Each structure stands twice: as structure tokens, then as C-alpha cells.
């Protein structure tokens, strides 16, 4: 991520405790509280697993022997945030600067992105119903652009965009239309990242109570006035006039930034895309990037598809998954990926400075919602093999499945607040509901086979 190198700015981030409520004229979706849904009396078998519309697409193999013990989960929220972490550092290094920083921050309101950064905790990117998030989404939709650069690395085009209030975000331009579905013969690796998938993943992650996808919106830019004229030299050099007179560009990346697949404006000279807030840089938060134990590869089949005891032998035995929240976070990530159909999960990231057991971020969701009729069972292996899930996650899925409004319907309503509405075709919402039933059916079967719900549905503070 792009760093904030101005030391005084970092101090202001750390010490500003400004609460600014912004009333937006948008539809707010009421979010259920994960931790209030699941009770000690939860009946995991309330709905029979026969409700799963799997159509015989997969066979479940559950290890019936004694599971390898996962140490007692100690996942109490510490309320450690980036803001108070920086405060601790500055108090040690330069305590005399605290008074000056507090005075500076009290004389003016800090922008939403700064308050968002300082509130990031070891539990989540933001708290439920935090008004700063709504203010940040508003800024992402409306703030004027000041600079456009390239986002380094990766196979797909991503632009780094700076705004007038100091905010920075990642822009993924449109590559596919609303009704597009990836052909069956396509391998996911050869598909473009979908900007609509990034927007939908943020909403889905928030509805599931995870809050681990950075705030993301859809936005439309004028290609000439907002992108080309504010781009740096390297990006500007990739703009050209196409044979039909449009101002197109390719950007810079490792594979798909070529003239055979350019980004071109619509008839009004505009291009739409997803805009995701940049998270604090590595020098501030110290990112930890770890290979996902079920990370996808180009190999077919991969090792866990051949070894049904892979989780017991090769995942639960690793120190990082024997205690703390990480193994259950992997299960949450698998739920999100399966519901969204995202099979392009190679690694995961966390903020190491917030403790080694801080939450796992759900980044890079551009390969989600590629197919509505096909369920990406590759995402399902962590759940089926480990037979573990947070009780709160299970309870929330059961809440949506048994309630008057399904998760798919709630997602559709939530996405109506975005500028690109409709963000997804209706067929994807019914696919989400179908997959919810599949997850519940698998967990119910795990409970039946294991004979004890406490071995499968784990209660913690998340």
C-alpha cells in the first residue's frame, strides 16, 4: 500500500478523537449482530441437510476418527487499534509532541479516511454501523481526483488514485458487462478481474458480519478529464486513440495490459469501475502475507483434492492454526469465497503490528461472481475437510436461511445503494441463497458424523 510518509500526519491520525456524523440520503440495510444470534441452545440440526440443492455435484468425506485437538481458542477482543498502537510508539519516542498533535487535531475535522485508519483493530477493519464508514463511502463516490498512477504488481490493470482530501484508493476498471458469465471452458486464471465483484464482495462481507473487506464503491470517471489529464507519465503513455476515435488506455501490469484488451470509454467518454480505499502501508501497519493452505494453483488436481485427511494432517498440525483465531478465520474466508464463487484465493494478509493473531483480510475479490449456475467447490474444501465453523457464522447463515428475507435478497437491497446499481444480475442472488443451504447442510452433516456440535461449531468472541 502507499505509505503516509509525513510524520506529523501520522501523529494526527493517532491522536484525533473527532466524531463527525454525516447524514447521507441512502438506504441503510439493517445488519444483524452475529454475536447476538447464536445462543447456547442453538440447534444445528433444526433444518435437515436434505434442503441442500447440491444436485449430486460433490461427495462429502468426513474423517470419523478422533480429530486432532485444536488448543482452547483464546480469541478475546483486545480493542487494540492502529491509532492507540501509534500513540504508544510516539509516547516512547517523542512525548513532547503529543500535546502539539492533540492541539492540531482539535482545530479542524480530520477526513474520514484518517479516522477510518486509526480505528482499524486487531478484530476487524471497522465496527458494525460505524458512521465513519458511511462518510468514507461518500468520499469515495464524490471526492475530486488529484493524481492517477499505476498500482504495481499483479496480472490485471489497477490504478492508484489520489484525491483532494488526501485519500488514496485502488481503481479497477470495467472489463465485463453486467450479464456476463465466464464460459465453462475458461480457467479462472485466464479471466479478467470484475469490478462489480469487488463492490459486491464488500457488501456481502459486511452482511456476514466479517468486516474484513475494505470499503469499496462503484464510480464513473471521465476518461480524459479525470484520468488522462491527472495521470503520471508512465500511465499517460498508455493512452491512445482507437480506430473508432475513442480515447483508450492499457495501463501497466504483468499480463492483461495490452492493446488487444484495452479500457475504452462509453459513448459519453466515461468509464466505470470499482474504487477501494487503500489500507495503511507496510511501514505503518507491517503487513504479513501468508500462503493459504488451500491456495489455488494451476495444478489439477491439487493435493487436498486427493487427500481427504489433508486438514487433519497438514493444516491443524501447524502452529499458527493450533491456537488463536486464524483457523476459524480461514473457515470464514472459505464461506465468503464459496458464497461469492471466488476460487482465486492464493494467500491472505493481516496486520502484524496489531498482534500475530489479528484478523485475516479478505482482499482481491475480482474473480467472484463469475458464474451463477456453477458452484465453485474448490472454495469448499476447507469447510468440508476441517469440519469447523464459528458458531456465530453458522447462526447468521441459519438466520438468513430461516428468516423472511434471505441473504441473497438482503445483498440485492444493500447493493441498491451503489452508484453502479444494478451491481449484479439477479441470478447471482439466488446462487448465494443456494450456496447458503449447501454450507448449512455440510455443517449439519459434520455435527451428525462427529456426534457433538461443540467439536464443529466453535464459540468465540467474533
Residues labelled as active-site residues: 344
Q: Cell triple for residue 200?
A: 459486491
Amino acid at each position: 500500500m502507499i505509505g503516509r510518509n509525513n510524520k506529523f500526519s501520522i501523529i494526527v491520525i493517532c491522536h484525533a478523537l473527532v466524531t463527525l456524523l454525516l447524514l447521507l440520503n441512502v438506504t441503510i440495510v439493517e445488519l444483524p449482530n452475529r454475536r447476538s444470534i447464536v445462543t447456547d441452545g442453538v440447534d444445528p440440526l433444526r433444518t435437515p441437510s436434505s434442503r441442500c440443492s447440491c444436485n449430486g455435484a460433490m461427495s462429502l468425506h468426513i474423517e470419523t476418527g478422533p480429530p486432532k485437538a485444536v488448543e482452547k481458542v483464546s480469541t478475546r477482543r483486545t480493542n487494540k487499534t492502529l491509532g492507540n498502537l501509534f500513540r504508544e510508539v510516539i509516547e516512547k519516542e517523542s512525548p513532547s509532541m503529543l500535546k502539539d498533535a492533540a492541539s492540531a487535531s482539535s482545530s479542524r475535522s480530520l477526513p474520514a479516511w484518517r479516522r477510518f485508519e486509526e480505528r482499524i483493530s486487531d478484530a476487524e477493519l471497522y465496527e458494525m454501523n460505524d458512521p465513519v464508514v458511511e462518510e468514507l463511502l461518500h468520499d469515495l463516490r464524490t471526492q475530486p481526483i488529484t493524481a492517477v498512477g499505476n498500482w504495481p504488481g499483479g496480472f490485471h490493470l489497477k490504478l492508484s488514485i489520489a484525491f483532494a482530501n488526501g485519500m488514496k484508493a485502488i481503481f479497477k476498471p470495467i472489463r465485463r458487462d453486467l450479464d456476463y458469465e465466464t464460459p465453462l471452458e475458461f480457467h479462472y486464471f485466464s479471466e479478467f478481474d470484475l469490478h462489480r465483484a469487488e463492490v459486491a464482495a464488500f457488501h456481502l462481507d459486511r452482511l456476514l458480519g466479517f468486516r474484513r473487506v475494505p470499503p469499496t464503491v462503484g464510480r464513473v470517471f471521465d476518461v480524459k478529464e479525470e484520468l488522462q489529464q491527472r495521470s503520471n507519465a508512465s500511465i499517460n503513455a498508455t493512452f491512445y486513440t482507437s480506430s473508432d476515435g475513442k480515447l483508450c488506455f492499457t495501463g501497466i501490469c504483468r499480463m492483461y495490459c495490452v492493446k488487444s484488451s484495452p479500457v475504452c470509454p462509453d459513448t459519453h467518454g466515461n468509464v466505470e469501475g470499482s474504487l477501494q480505499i487503500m489500507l495503511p502501508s507496510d511501514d505503518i501497519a507491517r503487513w504479513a502475507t501468508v500462503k493459504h493452505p488451500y491456495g489455488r494453483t494451476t495444478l489439477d488436481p491439487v493435493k487436498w483434492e486427493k487427500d481427504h485427511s489433508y486438514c487433519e494432517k497438514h493444516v491443524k498440525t501447524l502452529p499458527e492454526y493450533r491456537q488463536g483465531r486464524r483457523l476459524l478465520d480461514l473457515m470464514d474466508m472459505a464461506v465468503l469465497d464459496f458464497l461469492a464463487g471466488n476460487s482465486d484465493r492464493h494467500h491472505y494478509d493481516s496486520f502484524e503490528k496489531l498482534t500475530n493473531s489479528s484478523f485475516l483480510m479478505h482482499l482481491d475479490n475480482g474473480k467472484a461472481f463469475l458464474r451463477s449456475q456453477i458452484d465453485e467447490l474448490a472454495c469448499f474444501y476447507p469447510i468440508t475437510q476441517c469440519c469447523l465453523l464459528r458458531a456465530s457464522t453458522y447462526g447468521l447463515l441459519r438466520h438468513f436461511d430461516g428468516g423472511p428475507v434471505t441473504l441473497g435478497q438482503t445483498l440485492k437491497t444493500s447493493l441498491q445503494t451503489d452508484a453502479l446499481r444494478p451491481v449484479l444480475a439477479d441470478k447471482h442472488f439466488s446462487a448465494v441463497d443456494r450456496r447458503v443451504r449447501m454450507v448449512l447442510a455440510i455443517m449439519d452433516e459434520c455435527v451428525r458424523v462427529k456426534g457433538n456440535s461443540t467439536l464443529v461449531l466453535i464459540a468465540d468472541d467474533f
